[in-house]
Chains A and B, each alone.
Chain A
């Protein structure tokens, strides 16, 4: 098991006061909070910070941790001393069932046992509800899909210590689901105590970013590149949608940025969303004599002033 340097994790000196520790924790927590942060390793960092703070904010745990000595290095192979935990009396504030899966083996070995409170205080006949996140592709919301997720669960073992176990579930993703919605799986949460039934598992749905489509609620947006003559003269073109290709009529004299709405082709929720095709006019390069000539002819044929609204002369 690797030693964890909790002072280093929070970036504080071993002599730091409780207030200093709290201040540094809060700073890092704001930076790495998974609800706020865009850092790729935010979730992992946040867990480490939370674990370090859990120990250093509690005078009893901190004193016990300090007693290990200052000579340990983070990552060094660690085994608790044989007399570990003697002479300390811990009150409550041990880790709760919900957090235990998040903390390291190191934490669990030091504080997972004898830190009071877990057994009696946590007793429920019914198991707790658990929450997890599931990432799906936009296409899954159109067709429905089956996805496999692996969940880490902690439960109290026979010896009174929390044990982390993994389990894999195949879950049906219903058609019409959208970002931020929950799927409730009855009795798939934490097992109940005694005769009590298990809690529920709630899966929060998260869409993976899509290279073509942008999602807003149940509405979908796609940018469609068109040639100037298609936008000016009108055209019938093919457009990809999450359900497959469709033929779309572009009305004559369409401006760049024009939105064409395809009603009911968004996410097929109870009230289906719409698909918006946003026109992007793409210019061909004037890289041949013929192309140059075509641009010049267009210039002569129209009295077009793109800067008419700016009050300057072209």
Chain B
């Protein structure tokens, strides 16, 4: 890539640890109704800071969990408690696979 191209590159906003999303922002980013987020919070799939929905603040990494939860529901018909279980297991499998990849390169 040329220098000029690199200079013209789009600069986005990194949703890092310093950024928290309100309920409205999370809904807008994921294009989901608030009711759906309530269900996910009730099941402990995402855990916002703050006591009332108006004060909820979601960690930026929750965006990934919510999107994943939506895909699992839409594509596989998994219900909300099932999603909570699936996400926990998937995260465990991911970390185990990362370790396995490390100890036995080429296996997964």
Contact = CB atoms under 8 A, between A and B. Distances in A.
B76 A184 contact: no
A173 to B, nearest CB: 9
B13 to A, nearest CB: 5
Interface string A91-131: 00000000000000000000000000000000000001101
Interface in B41-99: 60-61, 63-64, 67-68, 71-72, 75-77, 86, 90, 95, 97-99
Nearest to A221: B102
A180 B64 CA distance: 7
A181 B61 contact: yes
B14 A202 contact: no
Contact of A169 (B6, B10, B29, B99): B10
Contacts of B63: 182, 202
Q: For this complex, into which size category does the number of interface residues on chain B fall? A: 35 or more
A259 B94 CA distance: 22
B35 interface: no
Contacts of B60: 181-182
Contacts of B31: 128-129
A50 B75 contact: yes
Contacts of A172: 9-12
A181 B18 CA distance: 12
B54 to A, nearest CB: 23
B76 A176 contact: no
Interface residues of A, number: 44
Interface in A225-281: 269-271
A182 B13 CA distance: 8
Interface in B19-43: 28-31
A29 B61 contact: no
Contacts of A201: 12
A30 B101 CA distance: 23
Given A35-B71, A50-B75, A171-B9, A148 B1 contact: yes
Interface string A185-197: 1101000000000
A296 B9 CA distance: 63
A180 B61 contact: yes
A95 to B, nearest CB: 13
A170 B10 contact: yes
B104 interface: no
B5 A146 contact: yes
Q: Which 4 A-B pairs have the closest CB atoms?
A: A170-B9, A183-B12, A185-B12, A146-B6
Interface of B: 1, 5-6, 8-18, 28-31, 60-61, 63-64, 67-68, 71-72, 75-77, 86, 90, 95, 97-99, 101-102, 105, 108
Interface of A: 26, 29-30, 33, 35-36, 38, 46, 50, 128-129, 131, 146, 148, 169-172, 174, 176-178, 180-186, 188, 200-204, 209, 211, 214-216, 223, 269-271
12 contacts: A26-B77, A33-B71, A35-B71, A129-B29, A146-B6, A170-B1, A172-B12, A180-B61, A181-B64, A204-B67, A215-B98, A270-B18
Given A171-B12, A216-B95, 9 more contacts: A29-B76, A129-B31, A146-B6, A146-B9, A171-B9, A183-B14, A183-B15, A184-B15, A201-B12
